[in-house]
Amino acid sequence: MHIPDGYLSPQTYIPAYGVMIPLWTIASRKLKKTLRSRQAPMLAIAAAFCFVVMMFNIPIPGGTTGHATGAVLIAILLGPWAAMISVSLALIVQALLFGDGGVTAIGANCFNMAVVMPLAGWGVYRLIAGSAPAKSARHKIGGAVGGYIGLCLAALTTAIMFGIQPIIAHGADGRALYCPFGLKVAVPVMLAEHLLLFGFVEAAVTALVIAYIQKIEPSMIARREPRPPNDDSGDKPGGRGSRRALTFYKRLTLGLLLLALLSPLGLYLPAKFGAGSAWGEWSASEIQKLAGYIPCQFKSIESIWKAPLPDYTVPGGEAASAGVSYLWYVVSAILGIGIIVIVSIALRKVFIGKEPDVTAGVDAKSDKN
């Protein structure tokens, strides 16, 4: 679902940026009002999880590949505005560092996967889960259904972006200048593969992680809104809540590292089952075979950005042995996680409001005494 450079016309990707820039601004302001510093690690972990889980490509034997995104899961745990920021951060790192998704299409990809998917999925989840207790099965069911519907809707909006290109950008000969496949092809194909397979993968990932969170930290499920700024119960340095939070974040970090080590499955499984590139993520030569021609504007935009580690390996690494490719995949996963965490820390002041001075009242009381 990562739209590469060359598939979208300026008539599409420029308005997409125009939509996303104010949404990112609003999301940042929302987080600045609600997110506290003690919750900041979860925002970084959520973005890193989104990044690494998208490296697990699931094959359709003899066909295409797809993956989960974790966007609805993040919306459930942190809220849709936090999901918008977390997923966008993961997508931007993927595009700039690894060439997974185009730089011209960052706005479009973020709209599909960081806006449509988490908002729709979160709405479905809230409808099903309601006010059920934290350990209720309704949270897992709501998360699964929300993940499924959210991913399928994101696939639909992506397919529409692909499909309108031959209509809005074509040459005098009628040939498309960008994506060569119209709505009658793009919408049924993308919807079918996500409705029949990839949506269920997203549902399973969402439900399984919610089940895990219910077991180790059910308050993450129960809390619909962040605690009030002046509520520091259980979070005092050295307190029981502080130690519990540290243990919780350690477990999540170890889980991320385990996923990074297992990430080569995203290379092995497609090769094992003979699956090709994800739909809409073909190279120029693959488009030539499928469409019979290479759109003329595609050529000029396809290589507009040279990613340092294209396709999660060093330049020219596509000719390396399987073992070397797997190693670079793991290195890329760990590197991506590290960069996302560093960027999250650097942006801390942007996304996190000023913490209240909870000691002020205590100091004043002491002075009176």
pLDDT by residue (tens digit) across 57-77?
999 887 899 999 999 999 999
- Using CB atoms within 10 A of its CB, is residue 54 exposed (0-12), middle (13-18) or buried (19+)? buried
d(CA 170, CA 187): 19
Tell me the chain's radius of gyration from C-alpha atoms: 22
The two tokens of residue 341 are 């965490």
Taking alpha carbons only, the member of 48, 96, 207, 75 closest to residue 154 is: 75
Taking alpha carbons only, the member of 96, 92, 115, 146 closest to residue 20 is: 115
pLDDT digits (tens, 9 = 90+) for 345-364: 888 777 765 555 444 444 44
In angstroms, how far is the first alpha carbon of the chain from the final one? 64
- Using CB atoms within 10 A of its CB, is residue 49 exposed (0-12), middle (13-18) or buried (19+)? buried
Full pLDDT tens readout for the chain, 369 residues: 899 999 999 999 999 999 999 999 999 998 888 776 667 788 899 999 999 999 999 998 878 999 999 999 999 999 999 999 999 999 999 999 999 999 999 999 999 999 999 999 999 999 999 999 999 999 999 999 999 999 999 999 999 999 999 999 999 999 999 999 999 999 999 999 999 999 999 999 999 999 999 998 898 886 544 444 444 444 444 455 677 778 888 899 999 999 999 999 999 999 999 998 899 999 999 999 999 999 999 988 988 999 999 999 988 777 788 899 999 999 999 999 999 999 988 887 777 655 554 444 444 444 554
Domains defined for the chain, CATH in brackets: 10-368 (1.10.1760.20)
d(CA 258, CA 252): 10
Residues in CB range of 19: below 8 A, 6 or more apart: 107, 111
d(CA 346, CA 137): 37
